[in-house]
Amino acid sequence: MLDIAVAKPALPKSGALVLMLEEGCAGATAELLVVADAATGGAVSRALKVAEFKGKKGQSATVLAPGAGLSRVVAVGLGKLADTTDHSLEEAGGRVTAALAKEPAAAVSTTGMSAGQAASVTMGAALRAYRFDRYRTKEKAEDKPKLGKITLLHDAIAKVKAAWEPLKAVAEGVFLARDLVSEPPNVLFPAEMARRCQELTKLGLKVEVLGPKEMLKLGFGALMGVAQGSVREPRMVVMTWNGATGRKKEKPLCFVGKGVTFDTGGISLKPAGGMEDMKFDMGGAGTVIGLMAALAGRKAKVDAIGLVGLVENMPDGNAQRPGDVVTSYSGQTIEVINTDAEGRLVLADVLWYAQQKFDPRFMVDLATLTGAMVITLGHEITGFFANDDDLAAKITAAGAKTGEQMWRMPLTESFDKQINSDIADMKNVGGRPGGAITAAAFIQRFVNGKPWAHLDIAGTAWATKDSATTPKGATAVAVRALDRMVADNYE
């Protein structure tokens, strides 16, 4: 995490200066530009003129060694300040980090902005600065980003600090999720992932871990069927945040994550090409863990439950076979047609447990579930399904505010019929057409009428290129959107 400080606006004596400028490069946001330009003998304004920088949204320009002891001046365009959103300001902050990779520290002028707007810029800068380099041992110093500290220049120091504090907690939740998804599968297996969940007790979360004995006793036949081919024993983790103390007690919110720490496909073995990516088949669980850390970290005034089913799907001599019939915790029987459709089996038992144990207000599950969703919406938008219009609208709105786009998909009875089995209550796959929808239809059979949404994050859990606030790699998709949904509607 970047070291963030706040100070009164003043031209730094050395190092880098970032000017966040409104369109037209005038008004309050340009106050420090005037000072910097005078100190450098007009070098800054001349360079911005040559670069045709006018402060439009998305514009940026860098002036190297302009004088007055400054190593560089970076101008970042905001567009019309009145038209900015939290997300657009975060994107501007991300561009700051990208432009300052070779600078150890920088002063960022946010004069003219509200405290909340300045904090949003900081959030974007922090999110873009994330880097997973735990296993890099020979990287050259010149190849490593140097930026470690940003000092916001703003008149309302206390207000900016107060606005940044909850955002910092959310950023830390995002980083936790990114770390988990980035870990190699020989390091992060079910027991280790459960152990890392237990570390969150330091934030005030209550954490309970169920092992194979407890799950067999409960009757988790669907989840245990997936796990039986691996020497790595499964776990289910229940994380509880009780933040509604002193308020009228209501049913808790519930978030459920698929945590397949590595997915070979089992007996229905995946092709070798790209199989290494299946380390992030626990992305849904990673998001739930990051979300619970964010809620606890910012002391959210709400009661929430996070549950993750953690398994490894391997093809040994004891592995589940295509054609097996398993009995889920709900009592419903499932004919396993394809052992690579395993995530929905994990979710089936965990979702039913969540309802029976906690009777939540709603359930949202997240899973890197289907390649069909990647074909449908690519890597830019998360497709989701819901049985409740109000919950769906809240998820869509929160995604729009955080820049994590969510698109509701159809879920009709005709797709549900495709998973009827000839010998059991259902089978775990339908036909090839509409694969993401039949997967959702399967999961819905374990919802039992509770308000519910299913986010298929197969296409958005991992990025193959940098974006404004997310470097290439694990995205922690939906941590921020679901945190925003909770903040806007349930606190």
CA distances from 27 to 30, 46, 61, 149, 206 (A): 6, 19, 19, 27, 50
Q: Give every CB contact of residue 242 below 8 A, 6+ residues apart in sequence.
A: 206, 303
Measure the CA–CA gap between 321 and 330, rounded to whole angstroms: 21
User: Tokens representing 358?
Assistant: 């906690």
Measure the CA–CA gap between 177 and 120, rounded to whole angstroms: 20
* Amino acid sitting at position 437: I
CA dihedral 398, 447, 418, 263 (to 10 degrees): 70
User: Tokens representing 444?
Assistant: 């819905």
Cβ atoms within 10 Å, residue 316: 12
User: Tokens representing 436?
Assistant: 């993401």
Query: Alpha helix (H) ranges present in 343-409?
Result: 343-358, 371-377, 389-402
Measure the CA–CA gap between 274 and 278, rounded to whole angstroms: 8
Q: Which residues are catalytic?
A: 270, 344
Q: 74: which DSSP letter?
A: E
Beta-strand (E) ranges in 96-234? 105-109, 149-153, 206-210
Cβ atoms within 10 Å, residue 10: 11
Measure the CA–CA gap between 13 and 18, rounded to whole angstroms: 13
Measure the CA–CA gap between 48 and 440, rounded to whole angstroms: 52
User: Tokens representing 319?
Assistant: 């592995």
Burial class, 477, CB count within 10 angstroms (exposed 0-12 / middle 13-18 / buried 19+): buried
